[in-house]
């Protein structure tokens, strides 16, 4: 058997799939793509998470587009974090071009243009489905971790949440929790100390500063009502295709804390609400996180631990999470260890540090008799990638240099008018466009403070009146004293005249 034949057999045996699978492309050896050696990923393993990495311009975006299209075709909804604004074209049909049909002929995969159902979403003021969550839904522990609070500060946040629950004060947005913090250190200090113990003003001051920092990154737009229902991510069009929900994040690249906040809350919400699925034939939802280093770059140790924990557990709910970044070293090792599918596009080695990173990356992939992985990583062309996955038994597949298939949808962004048309037809845009500002802790405490101030003013007025009464006699009292004085004088005069008359008679 020749080396090529041996390679083809090696790939076909390693990527054999009895159930439904998606096809990424055709395997390559020594720069040649083979039509009869397809790289298949079983649907049932796609909840095992994954990584798509590679230098700028190597084809990561198109790979994500291909994955999303095929998942949608199998009725699997997608949630995509679009940092650069590259993915919206998936809503429109692609264009058949000579270089695409030539590529597909090499790997023996028919090419057919298609479009897919899309919802455009936003965390900020961009048009689309508005994503929001309340402070109460976060809970004290998660909210504290987002703010990177220590144990003492976390304890104060727990007291704040407990106080609001006990007094039926909803914590909906950031102005609510800021108002509570101000209240417990001023007007309500005595009330809090009596029921919950003393709270240091320096501690509440630190918490308040961290909330303001989060607010300055745009979190005031995220916290509030109405809260987004994660069930609205699991929708299908009339043809049974899963919706591709694209969160437009082009305006928050410089706000990593807001991005981390949203990601952690979303993963936690999905984990808490979705039922256990066990080993199902396909995932319920697949999440793509573009520019994943933004999550990990500014995240605290506790936040990283929380993300790692949720990534470990969420696959049991039938959810797959896929991180997209330039260098796989951007993703913490604890998260990398949880990933089943790895698609590695080319890396560039310009410095000694780059070469060291490439060697470390190569060590994360299975050894191969057909490739020198570290050398291959720098020689892959655009639209080519190293792939390793899990087969249906959960065993890692052979490492395969792959010529990736092309997207069936448009490989470009939508125009503003096309974005407007999608949003105008969206039921979710209408559902979440209304901003609700019902009575919550902010308004309730303002009323409580107003009552306290009114009572204090009345008490001070009563005390002032009483003080004047003790220091200055009333008009009636003064008149009485004058009358008494007059009567006393008259009696004295009458008595004196009586004595004088008696003396004159003698």
Q: Report domain extents, the chain.
A: 3-131+228-425, 135-223+438-452
What parts of the chain have a pLDDT lower than 70?
Answer: 253-254, 298-300, 302-303, 470-506
pLDDT, tens digit, 9 for 90 and up, residues 104-145? 999 999 999 999 999 999 887 788 999 888 898 888 988 888
What pLDDT, on a 0 to 100 scale, did the predictor assign at position 488? 47
Task: State the CATH class of domain 3-131+228-425.
Answer: alpha beta
Check if the beta carbon of residue 399 is closer than 8 Å to that of residue 36: no
User: What is the pLDDT, as a whole number, of residue 75?
Assistant: 96
Residue 473's pLDDT is what? Answer: 55
Contacts 24+ apart (CB under 8 A), 98-107: 100/406, 103/383, 103/403, 103/405, 103/406, 104/405, 104/406, 106/26, 106/33, 106/35, 106/403, 107/25, 107/26, 107/33, 107/34, 107/35, 107/38, 107/403, 107/405
Q: Report pLDDT for 217.
A: 80
What does the alpha-carbon distance between residue 66 and residue 57 come to, in Å, rounded to a whole number?
A: 16
Name the token pair of 240.
């049974």
Give 13's Cβ-side CA count (13 Å radius).
6
pTM of the entire predicted model: 0.82
Helix (H, G, I), strand (E, B) or coil at 53: strand
User: How far is Cα 237 from Cα 228, in angstroms, rounded to an integer?
Assistant: 20
| C-beta atoms surrounding 220 within 10 Å | 15
DSSP assignment, residue 62?
H
pLDDT at 503: 44
Predicted local distance difference test score (pLDDT) of residue 349: 79
Do 330 and 291 touch, CB atoms closer than 8 A?
A: no
Q: How far apart are the first and last CA of the chain?
A: 170
Beta strands per DSSP E along 58-139: 78-82, 118-122, 129-130
């Amino acid at each position: 058997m020749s080396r090529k034949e041996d390679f083809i057999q090696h790939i076909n045996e390693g990527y054999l799939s009895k159930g439904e699978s998606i096809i990424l492309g055709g395997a390559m050896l020594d720069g040649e793509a083979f039509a009869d050696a397809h790289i298949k990923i079983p649907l049932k393993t796609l909840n095992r998470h994954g990584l798509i990495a590679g230098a700028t311009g190597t084809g990561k975006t198109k790979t994500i587009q291909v994955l999303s299209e095929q998942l949608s075709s199998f009725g699997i909804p997608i949630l995509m974090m679009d940092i650069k604004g590259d993915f919206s074209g998936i809503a429109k049909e692609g264009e058949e071009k000579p270089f695409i049909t030539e590529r597909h002929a090499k790997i023996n995969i028919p090419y057919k243009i298609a479009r897919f159902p899309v919802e455009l979403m936003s965390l900020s003021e961009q048009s689309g489905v508005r994503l929001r969550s309340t402070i109460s839904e976060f809970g004290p522990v998660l909210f504290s971790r987002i703010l990177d609070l220590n144990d003492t500060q976390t304890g104060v946040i727990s007291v704040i949440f407990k106080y609001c629950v006990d007094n039926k004060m909803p914590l909906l947005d950031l102005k609510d929790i800021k108002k509570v913090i101000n209240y417990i250190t001023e007007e309500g200090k005595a009330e809090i100390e009596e029921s919950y113990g003393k709270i240091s003003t320096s501690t509440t001051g630190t918490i308040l500063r961290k909330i303001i920092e989060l607010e300055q990154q745009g979190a005031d737009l995220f916290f509030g009502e109405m809260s987004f229902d994660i069930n609205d991510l699991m929708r299908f069009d009339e043809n049974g295709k899963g919706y591709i929900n694209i969160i437009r994040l082009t305006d928050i690249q410089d706000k990593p804390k807001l991005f981390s906040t949203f990601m952690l809350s979303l993963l936690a919400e999905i984990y808490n609400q979705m039922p256990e699925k066990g080993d199902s034939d396909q995932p319920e939802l697949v999440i793509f996180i573009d520019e994943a280093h933004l999550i990990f770059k500014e995240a605290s140790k506790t936040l990283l631990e929380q993300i790692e924990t949720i990534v470990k557990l969420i696959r049991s709910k039938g959810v797959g999470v896929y991180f997209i970044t330039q260098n796989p070293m951007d993703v913490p090792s604890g998260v990398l260890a949880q990933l089943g599918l790895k698609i590695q596009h080319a890396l560039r080695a310009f410095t000694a540090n780059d070469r060291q990173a490439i060697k470390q990356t190569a060590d994360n992939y299975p050894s191969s008799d057909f490739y020198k992985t570290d050398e291959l990583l720098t020689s892959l062309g655009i639209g080519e990638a190293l792939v390793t996955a899990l087969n249906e038994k959960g065993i890692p597949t052979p490492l395969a240099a792959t010529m990736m298939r092309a997207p069936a949808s448009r490989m470009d962004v939508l125009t503003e008018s096309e974005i407007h048309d999608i949003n105008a037809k969206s039921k979710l845009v209408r559902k979440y466009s209304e901003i609700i500002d019902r009575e919550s802790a902010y308004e309730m405490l303002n009323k409580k403070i107003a009552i306290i101030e009114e009572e204090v003013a009345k008490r001070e007025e009563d005390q002032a009146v009483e003080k004047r009464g003790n220091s200055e006699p009333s008009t009636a009292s003064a008149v009485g004293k004058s009358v008494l004085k007059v009567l006393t004088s008259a009696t004295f005069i009458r008595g004196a005249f009586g004595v004088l008359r008696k003396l004159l008679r003698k």
